Structure 1
Amino acid sequence: MKPANQEFIYTYIRHIDEHDLCRLEMRSFFGTHSEANVLKSEVEIDPSRSPFMKERLEVIWSSESWEGFLSQARVFIPPSTFKTTCLNTMDMEETKKIPHPDRRRLEREVGESIQGEADLLEPSIEYGFIQMNGKWYFGLLEKSLPIWKSHEQKPHMYSTALGTRLARAVANIAVPHPAGIRAIDPCCGIGTVLVEARSMGIDIVGRDINPLVCKGSRKNLAYFGLSGEVVKGPIAEVSDTYDVAIIDMPYNLFTHITSEGQQSILSEARRITDKLVVVTIEPMDQMIKNAGFTIVDRCIAKKGTFERQVVVCE
């Protein structure tokens, strides 16, 4: 059983265009964000959920000095074969990147201090250590698996659909902690958000007025071995209520939807949920307010010169 004050250290890699989106995902997961590419928290998140996380260190011990760090390593007995990896491969807040030869030397020192059998090729357990802001941390290492990458090649595509990285981040922003949460994507298109959410165990259903994209969404889910309900029909026909809704707002540029139609979608969303995450290419603050929501957080998601707003409403 983990102690009540268990600490986790998360490292991040993101493109400069994704900085704002990554920080919003951080705030959704942890209630705060880091301007740097590392964050320490007592909140446990599977690193493979985020398209930006590189790895997670579940802290076992820490020390203000390297000698103190090694003294704890000397009394540590792992349960099976192990490997140690230094995570200082890039600048960490005030701590500069440790050059490759120095990282290898530190890894050898730690590995030789631990009372166990090291295995660099096929270890049963991988440990990591990191220096951050003048302190050394050691713990269980879990690397992020880029599951979202396998979802890029869907059998059914849609030119205006969200990219998989953005869709995965949006699903996390909407449902950072899935236990007991029911979600709906009432304008699901070909199911980009549904695929990402379902692959993370989020309980979400889809809906769309276009029967062809509903069919494509079902096929995309099935292609990745995922289940999930996708119903044809407008949001106005939704009779159930949900903890959160995700709406990638239909675009005036590519559809015949009017501003009145967009307002109707938002107003119907207010009827079925108390929390809404809207993705839009145009400002919708007044429409969101008119629907009875309050904007509590937001970001700009960029891809080159193209920008979308991700708006969190309650």
Structure 2
Amino acid sequence: MDNTNRMPAYIYTYACREDEISLCQLELRSLFGMETQANLFKTDILVDVSRSPFIKERIDVMYEGDKLADIYEQVEQLDLGSATFKAIFVKTNDLAPGDKVEYAERRIIEREIGMHIEGEADINRPDLLYGIVAFGGRWYFGSYHKNTALWLHHMKKPRSYSIALSTRVARAAVNIAVPRPEGIRAIDPCCGIGTVLVEALSMGIDMVGRDINHFIARGARENLAFFGLEGVVTRGDIADIAETYDAAIVDMPYNLYSKITPEEQFSLLLHARRIAKRVVVVSIEAIDEMIGNAGFTITDRCIARKGLFSRHLLVCE
């Protein structure tokens, strides 16, 4: 097949637990404008594979064909120079049950691809990674990228408290609030110990933090410094913020753990609408009426569950 002048194409695989499906699908809609019931999909949108807590890997499509033989023929065009390589058969695919490729056959296919590539294979420390995957009745081959799962490292914060968002939910919330980071300024005006802020800054997203509690704001700064992240965390009320931002994430204080009143919650939403164009509101309950009264329209939503505890994530504009 002639691949000249074709549109860029990327194939992603992802995985989530059953209680994460709603959150995962909202993140996919935010990042790619689509969702899928399968665990892989094809798109022309390029996203850093390590941004998402759910995306596992990405193939940047170079060649495609109806049969494996088409791929074997096309990879002979590769010119790697002195670089070493490794070919990986992507286990997540949509092959019919009768066509599933087991471990031994996957290794055979990887070796066969390697034999058709002009260059030196290195299974331990290759310079280049390539992947092959079956999707939609065709075979695809291209550069392979695996998620580094950086958010797992962020679980080990020096400062934490039990009601903070998990790093997975926080990272997804950032992607939902800021799907396209270029030129975007964001804020977490009730940042707590900085769980959201750590995830945003680790992805290179321009986000500042603020908290009304001096000791908690100091804890957020300690967490940023622990991970070598440079960011601004100020102490103060959201009502005192004069600047405006493209996006905000507001993790609403919980009546279960704080003395905040419904009036104070409503004030928080009013100020969030004043300072940001797009706001992801995180709440332990659906507060649609309060959000509507604050002048927002809810454009998308999900529920993130963990055991018996649920959080509503509401995209408000």
Normalised TM-score (structure 2): 0.95
Distance across 2 between alignment mates of 1:3 and 1:170: 36
Partner of 1:236: 239
Q: Which runs of 5+ in 2 are unaligned?
A: none
Partner of 1:28: 30
Partner of 1:17: 19
Partner of 1:177: 180
Does the alignment pair 1:307 with 2:303? no
Does the alignment pair 1:204 with 2:207? yes
Note the alpha carbon deviations across 1:206-229, whole angstroms, 9 max, x for none: 111111110100100111001111
The 1:63–1:247 alpha-carbon spacing in structure 2 relative to 1, beyond 3 Å, is same
Provide the secondary structure at the position in 2 that maps to 1:128.
strand
Partner of 1:66: 68
Q: Which runs of 4+ in 1 moved over 4 A?
A: 93-97
Aligned length: 312
Matches within 5 A, 1:216-235: 216-235=219-238
Partner of 2:92: 90
Distance across 2 between alignment mates of 1:276 and 1:187: 13
Given that residues 93 and 133 in structure 2 are in contact (C-alpha distance below 8 angstroms), is that contact kept between their aligned partners in structure 1?
no
Distance across 2 between alignment mates of 1:191 and 1:98: 44
1:93: how far off?
A: 7.3
Given that residues 185 and 245 in structure 2 are in contact (C-alpha distance below 8 angstroms), is that contact kept between their aligned partners in structure 1?
yes
Distance across 2 between alignment mates of 1:34 and 1:97: 21
Note the alpha carbon deviations across 1:81-111, whole angstroms, 9 max, x for none: 1110000x23537676521111101111111
The 1:97–1:180 alpha-carbon spacing in structure 2 relative to 1, beyond 3 Å, is farther
Given that residues 170 and 195 in structure 2 are in contact (C-alpha distance below 8 angstroms), is that contact kept between their aligned partners in structure 1?
yes
Distance across 2 between alignment mates of 1:297 and 1:97: 36
Partner of 2:299: 296
Provide the secondary structure at the position in 2 that maps to 1:152.
coil
1:254: how far off?
A: 0.2
Partner of 1:53: 55
- Give 2:250's aligned amino acid: I
Does the alignment pair 1:190 with 2:193? yes
Provide the secondary structure at the position in 1 that maps to 2:140.
strand
Distance across 2 between alignment mates of 1:261 and 1:179: 33
1:39: how far off?
A: 1.7
Provide the secondary structure at the position in 2 that maps to 1:286.
helix
1:120: how far off?
A: 1.3
Distance across 2 between alignment mates of 1:253 and 1:121: 51
Note the alpha carbon deviations across 1:179-216, whole angstroms, 9 max, x for none: 10000101111000000001001101111111111010
Provide the secondary structure at the position in 1 that maps to 2:234.
strand
Partner of 2:125: 122
- Give 1:245's aligned amino acid: A
Does the alignment pair 1:250 with 2:262? no
- Give 1:193's aligned amino acid: V
The alignment-based identity, stated in percent, is 51
Distance across 2 between alignment mates of 1:261 and 1:310: 19
- Give 2:263's aligned amino acid: E
- Give 1:41's aligned amino acid: T
Distance across 2 between alignment mates of 1:128 and 1:106: 11
Normalised TM-score (structure 1): 0.96
Partner of 2:282: 279
Distance across 1 between alignment mates of 2:41 and 2:80: 26
Given that residues 37 and 93 in structure 1 are in contact (C-alpha distance below 8 angstroms), is that contact kept between their aligned partners in structure 2?
no
Provide the secondary structure at the position in 2 that maps to 1:278.
strand
The 1:4–1:231 alpha-carbon spacing in structure 2 relative to 1, beyond 3 Å, is farther
Does the alignment pair 1:148 with 2:151? yes
1:74: how far off?
A: 2.6
